[in-house]
Amino acid sequence: MTVLITGSSRGIGAATARAFARAKYSVAINYNKSKEAAQQLADELSREYGADCLAFYGNTADSESVREMFKNIRSQLGEVDVLINNAGVSNQKLFTDITDDDWRETLGVSLDGAFYCSREALPHMIRQKSGVIINISSMWGEVGASCEVHYSAAKAGIIGLTKALAKEVAPSGIRVNCIAPGVIMTDMMKSFDEETLEELRLETPLERLGTPDDIAEAAMFLASERASFITGQILGVNGGFVV
């Protein structure tokens, strides 16, 4: 079984790559700019778990780049059986300060990327009458976040894509689900000071911030046969922040 995890050189993507390598999947680690980190992770996981783990360049906002990435994955690891659309970018700005480039990049990497990658993965899944697509959204895609309108819009689009695509491909035995993380301690949180992080922790009913492993474990569950009757769902992994 081969899994492709977009944006998996660090953070949630890297933790998810580790979880699937531990489960003996062949793992395609996608990167856009972080080639060295992706290659180091692939080498580390291959050594530690004896799994086939390789790093693949691909700009998820570019359909031709995605097409070439899938071609390379097929030639080296085989067809993609599990697709995890994780790639995303985030920056905090007032709505009136969001530039055209900000808007295009944020929606391009996340929402366009999920569309392009799913489009490439589905023909094989449809032929074999099985497959899993897991999209990584955000709780802000459910409720919106001030000063993150472009990010919230992209993640809300991911939720709509998940629900609609799940209905369309279910007769082919393909499941499509979405994870909506809460506040997860990744590089995206580096811009927040300790006081703000403590406020976010206290706002979370479980009184802790999430880890990339929390999301990785949810993805493992949704990819497994234990979730064989689950499709079109949005799984909130947020410590109770949004209910």
pLDDT tens digits, residue range 190-201? Answer: 778 889 899 999
The answer to whether residue 242 is domain-embedded is no
The answer to whether residue 31 is domain-embedded is yes
Domains: count for the chain:
1
Identify the CATH number of the domain in which residue 177 sits: 3.40.50.720
Write out the residue range of the structural domain in which residue 145 sits.
2-237
Question: pLDDT at position 189, please?
Answer: 75
The pLDDT tens digits of the residues spanning 108-137 come to 999 999 999 999 999 999 999 999 999 999
Residues with Cβ within 8 Å of residue 199, at least 6 apart in sequence = none
H helix runs in the chain, sequence order: 11-22, 35-49, 63-76, 100-107, 113-128, 139-143, 149-169, 194-203, 212-223
The answer to whether residue 227 is domain-embedded is yes
Instruction: Kindly state the tokens that stand for 16.
Output: 């998810």
Q: Which residues are catalytic?
A: 151
The answer to whether residue 56 is domain-embedded is yes
- Reported pTM: 0.96
Question: pLDDT at position 1, please?
Answer: 96
Q: Virtual CA dihedral for 65, 69, 71, 72, nearest 10 degrees?
A: 140
The answer to whether residue 243 is domain-embedded is no
SS3 59: coil
The pLDDT tens digits of the residues spanning 154-192 come to 999 999 999 999 999 999 999 999 999 999 998 777 778
Q: Is the pLDDT at 222 greater than 90, yes or no?
A: yes
Q: Is the pLDDT at 19 greater than 90, yes or no?
A: yes
Average model confidence (pLDDT) across the chain = 96
The pLDDT tens digits of the residues spanning 37-94 come to 999 999 999 999 999 999 999 999 999 999 999 999 999 999 999 999 999 998 899 9
The answer to whether residue 89 is domain-embedded is yes
Question: pLDDT at position 121, please?
Answer: 98
